Chain A
Amino acid sequence: MSLISHFEKKEDVLLVRLVGELDHHEAETLKDDWQNQLQDEAIKHVVVNLERLSFMDSSGLGVFLGRYKQVKTNDGEMVICSINNSVKRLFELSGLFKLINTEENESEALSRLGVAS
């Protein structure tokens, strides 16, 4: 199973929905696509929905950390939502929770950034 990434723009928020498995093989394409989306100057914040992400390893942490830094340089915020237990463990181990805000679900993540869903 590979990774499918959906991008959607809602006001100044880029909503990223990931479906499938995120490993090193998939990380490169995701990074390129995501960076392209962030070129849009109207975008300030990012919401990442992991509800349908069935597998992730440390390659995913690298991609999230990279985009976090990118969003941060524009004074934006990154919110990750619908994190399953195994991904949660990776976030805890890496200390990513200290940097990136999390919410239970997509609508809470969007409303945190001022977008009504």
Chain B
Amino acid sequence: MNNHMKVEMSAKSENESFARIVVASFISQLDPTVDELTEIKTVVSEAVTNAIIHGYEDQDHGVVELECNIDDHEVSLKIIDYGKGIFDIDEAVEPMYTSKPELERSGMGFTIMENFMDDFEVVSAKGQGTTVILRKNFNYNERHVLR
């Protein structure tokens, strides 16, 4: 199966749940398990929240783009913002690291993305924004053979 979708939304925290639901609906064609759905919703939530809080510093401006590709049994997600960018990616992905300790952030966003997905990649340039790419294999074919 091959499929693709792309949505653009305002960088508002109200859209965090919207982004989760959009991706969950789109990948439902792969017949995911409850656990797989929760994992995907969680990583989308983490990445979109990062874009809003860090990319745009919660200023209620800017857009977040969300892309999802289904290529056979692999799902890839792209979460793109055009905000301030990450200055030190190695530091940002460290477990428990947060650039905003005053906001009670746990610093676990990237760790969760890394753990819940098979593969993750962060591309960022100062002043230009950040793109997070997440990939995960769904055992779609296996399950359908088993049935």
Contacts and interface: CB of A to CB of B under 8 A. Distances in A.
- The A interface is mostly helix, strand or loop, or mixed, namely helix
A25 B104 contact: no
Which of A1, A23, A31, A89 has the most chain B CB atoms closer than 10 A to its own CB?
A: A23
Given A24-B13, A24-B53, A93-B112, A66 B104 contact: yes
B146 interface: no
B93 interface: no
Interface of B: 13-14, 16-17, 20, 35, 38-39, 41-42, 45-46, 49, 52-53, 95-96, 103-109, 111-112, 115
Contacts of B16: 23-25
A65 B52 contact: no
Contact of A25 (B14, B39, B108, B112): B14
A89 B115 CA distance: 10
Interface in A1-59: 1-2, 21, 23-25, 27, 31, 55, 57-59
A90 B108 contact: yes
Contacts, number: 72
Interface of A: 1-2, 21, 23-25, 27, 31, 55, 57-59, 61-63, 65-66, 85-86, 89-90, 93-94
A90 B105 CA distance: 14
Contacts of B39: 86
A86 B38 contact: yes
Nearest to A60: B106
Given A24-B53, A25-B17, A57 B45 contact: yes
